[in-house]
């Protein structure tokens, strides 16, 4: 037997679409998926946050963090392990986690930002958070320009929310697509933050167009 572990093979079951077979094969052969199972994380995405934090050190004990698009909860697990309290929201259900206050709701609903602000106030009397995380990604259509506009609309909404709730010195992390944030949004954010970087963490699949925007040093209102 060779020293390199043989890749697991997935046969196309009768009735299974080829796309489903490719996804299952990729999952079974993904070292981050296997590592997440061993480490007790709810998904491979946990390592994206861990790797970004390793480079930029924005997770601290005692923080109040808002996690937008939190399900299944991998980023919440990483944040609470660092000693943070997390307010989380997602359109999908999420099983309970210690030190996480979760609501099942679409962040793009008009009432969502105010609901989250009320939840922050339970932890900080000033209603402000140390960090806003957004791993939200709208459903894709397959049309490149349409999908880009949809993801940028979500990023823009998340950035406006972050500007309303972040403490001075706070950080905003958001999933974007290849090419990063649009120039108009970046120009606005540069007024609000001391530094802005784009990063594709190693845990992000090579074939994925995703990358992350990390804005640090919020200047406050």
Question: Does the annotation mark 175 as catalytic?
Answer: yes
Q: Tell whether omega for the bond before 72 is within 30 degrees of 0, i.e. cis.
A: yes
Question: 176-218 pLDDT, tens per residue?
Answer: 876 555 778 888 999 999 999 999 999 887 777 788 999 999 9
Domains of the chain, CATH where assigned: 43-218 (3.40.50.150)
Q: Crossing angle of helices 112-121/144-165, nearest 10°?
A: 30
Report, as an integer, the average pLDDT of 159-166. 97
**Identified catalytic residue from 17, 82, 117, 175:** 175
Mean pLDDT, all residues of the chain: 85
State the pLDDT at residue 152: 86
Strand order in the sheet with 193-199: 100-104, 85-90, 64-68, 129-134, 166-177, 210-218, 193-199
The gap from C-alpha 187 to its chain's centroid, in whole angstroms, comes to 22
Confidence band of 24 (pLDDT split at 50, 70, 90): very low
Question: 47-89 pLDDT, tens per residue?
Answer: 999 999 999 999 999 999 999 999 999 999 999 999 999 999 9
The gap from C-alpha 103 to its chain's centroid, in whole angstroms, comes to 16
């Amino acid at each position: 037997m060779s020293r390199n572990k043989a890749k697991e093979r997935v046969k196309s079951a009768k009735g299974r679409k080829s796309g489903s077979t490719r996804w299952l094969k990729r999952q079974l052969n993904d070292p981050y998926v296997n590592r997440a199972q061993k480490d007790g994380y709810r998904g491979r995405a946990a390592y994206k946050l861990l790797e970004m934090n390793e480079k930029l050190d924005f997770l601290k004990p005692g923080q109040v963090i808002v996690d937008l698009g939190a399900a299944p909860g991998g980023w919440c697990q990483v944040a609470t392990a660092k000693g943070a309290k997390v307010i989380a929201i997602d359109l999908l259900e999420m099983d309970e986690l210690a030190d996480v206050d979760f609501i099942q709701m679409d962040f793009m609903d008009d009432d969502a930002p105010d609901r989250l602000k009320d939840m922050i106030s339970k932890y900080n009397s000033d209603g402000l958070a140390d960090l806003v995380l957004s791993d939200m990604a709208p459903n894709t259509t397959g049309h490149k320009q349409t999908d880009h506009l949809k993801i940028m609309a979500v990023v823009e909404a998340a950035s406006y929310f972050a500007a309303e709730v972040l403490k001075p010195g706070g950080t905003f992390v958001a999933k974007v697509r290849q090419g990063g944030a649009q120039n108009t949004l970046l120009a606005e954010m540069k007024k609000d933050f001391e530094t802005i970087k784009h990063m594709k963490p190693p845990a992000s699949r090579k074939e994925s167009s995703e990358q992350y925007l990390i804005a640090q040093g919020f200047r406050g209102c």
